[in-house]
Amino acid sequence: MIQKGLIFVNFHLILLLSLSCFVVDGHGKQTDKLQSLLTEKLQNRARFNTEPFYDQETEIFNEAQVYPQEGLKEEDKIEMLPGQPSINFDQYGGYVTVDKSAGRALYYYFAEAVNKKDTKPLLLWLNGGPGCSSIAYGAMEEHGPFRVYSDGKSLYRNPYAWNRVANVLYLESPAGVGFSYSNTTSDYANSGDRRTAMDNYVFLVNWLTRFPEFKTREFYISGESYAGHYVPQLAHLILQGNRIANRTIINLKGIIIGNAVINDETDQIGMYEYFWTHALISDETNYFIKKYCDFSPAATTESSLCLKGANEANTDINSINIYNIYAPLCFSNNVTVQPKKASVMNFDPCSDNYVYAYLNRPDVQKALHANVTKLDHDWEPCSDVINAWNDSPSTILPLLREAMNNGLRVWVFSGDIDARVPVTSTRSSLNKLELSVKKSWYPWFVKNEVGGYTFVYKGDITFATVRGSGHEVPSYQPERALTLIQYFLSGKRLPDGSSTS
């Protein structure tokens, strides 16, 4: 992988390649896809478009993209999933066409709120990658109503599901992710931030036509990891679409992103800072990296001394999962004959295997109204079909400022034991906005325990940590994650311990 004797190398490429193999798993993971993208961006700077697509006023939507939706909501209603326990809410699943001429359609799963569904807000969840499924992670491993038992056949309830506080919509995007597809094969080679944002917008407008009761409902967008791009970009298009139409097409009220990729340079600097401050690398390794490495966007080569530090860091962390530095690893690709005892409070590192087995069952796909075109590949948590990602801005910070300036509620949270997009990266990125503090740093609480720490910038951007959580916060701290989203949706500050939450 690394040729010996090189004096100057593409350090970023080698670094990112070396950090891509932490968890033993037979299926691509969200975090591995993030590594692949960053590797591609740094390896092919000349061809890779890192310029933002949102710096121009462009027409993003026309009436021809609204397709007939009559009767489709009723067809999408899920009666019962195989192995499902009894429930007290309705759920839906199906396809929304986003480009009829290309035959491009996105799959969604929707869990209505368990109580007061007619008044609770609509919350969209997007996973990252890019190229990873919001059903695989968000719905089945994080904050959806169910988790999958180790036999890959049966489900159990998640008492901390986010549909306790909202109507939650999970979207597999872009086409080529999960059950979403295109009949135009070239679409899979033309994926990128711009098309993903445009398709997500068209999806939403059509979905709201299918579910008209949500057209005027308060709407929020949430996501994690590379959805640090997806969420603000979609918010931008919604704001732009409302402005062009001179009316509220989508009633967007706020965005929330976790362990989010928002600024490439500080993401990398913060990662090494986190390694050192959490005793994962030596003082000497840290010295070489800080003294000899240049993480600026313009850097393409690095000295052998920088490479020395990078190689030493890789050796030190190669046997742990940097996406949750204290979590056990999965050393099996199998399901179990009988389901193991399971609890949402003790996340199973082999959960990907169970979800993969469950969602590839024909009876499950039939119940979900999924894979109706009989795809020529298995459902995967992260896409093997998308073979290129063509545009990815180096920073999303201008979109966070735009959201703030348009009166949107903006929250950014960090699981504090994720080392891939760690709290140090996020804090450094937000500091680039040069905002003053409105509410100073304080601990927030869940049931008299510290759930994390938080503060609020002027302009009402809230930053919060989630104590004891890795990259996928609701997987590791489901109760704290539910408290976080509940306070976000209510527009209240996280509880400071003066009253029990």
Residue 315, SS3? Answer: helix
Residue tagged active-site, from 143, 229, 369, 471:
471
* Residue reference for tokens 């700077």: 45
Q: Rounded to an integer, what distance in angstroms lies between the CA atom of residue 37 and that of residue 386? A: 12
For residue 476, the SS3 value is helix
Sign of the dihedral through C-alpha 329, 226, 409, 138: negative
Catalytic residue among 76, 193, 352, 418: 418
Give the chain's length: 501
Which DSSP string corresponds to 40-107?
HHHH-TTTSB-S-S-SS------GGG----TTHHHHHB----TTPPP-SS-EEEEEEEEETTTTEEEE
- The half-sphere exposure of 105 on its side-chain side, counting CA atoms within 13 A, is 17
* Number of Cβ atoms within 10 Å of the Cβ of 235: 24
Query: How far apart, in Å, are the Cα atoms of 198 and each of 90, 94, 183?
Result: 29, 19, 18
Task: Please count the CA atoms within 13 angstroms of the CA of 359 that sit on its side-chain side.
Answer: 29
Pick the catalytic residue: 225, 392, 469, 475? 225
Q: For residues 398 and 49, what is the distance between their CA atoms, to the nearest angstrom?
A: 17
Q: Check if 351 is active-site.
A: no
* Cα–Cα distances in angstroms (integers) from residue 289 to residues 145, 166, 284, 319, 338, in the given order: 44, 45, 9, 20, 48
**Where are the alpha helices (H) located in 254-396, listed in sequence order?**
264-277, 283-292, 304-317, 351-359, 362-368
* Peptide bond before residue 130 is cis, with ω within 30 degrees of 0: yes
**CB–CB of 89/66 below 8 Å?**
no
What is the spatial distance between Cα 389 and Cα 75, in angstroms, rounded to a whole number?
Answer: 34
Unique residue bearing structure tokens 């079909």: 385
| DSSP-assigned letters across all residues of 243-259 | HHHTS-SS-EEEEEEES
Residue 182 annotated to the active site: no
Active site residues: 225, 418, 471
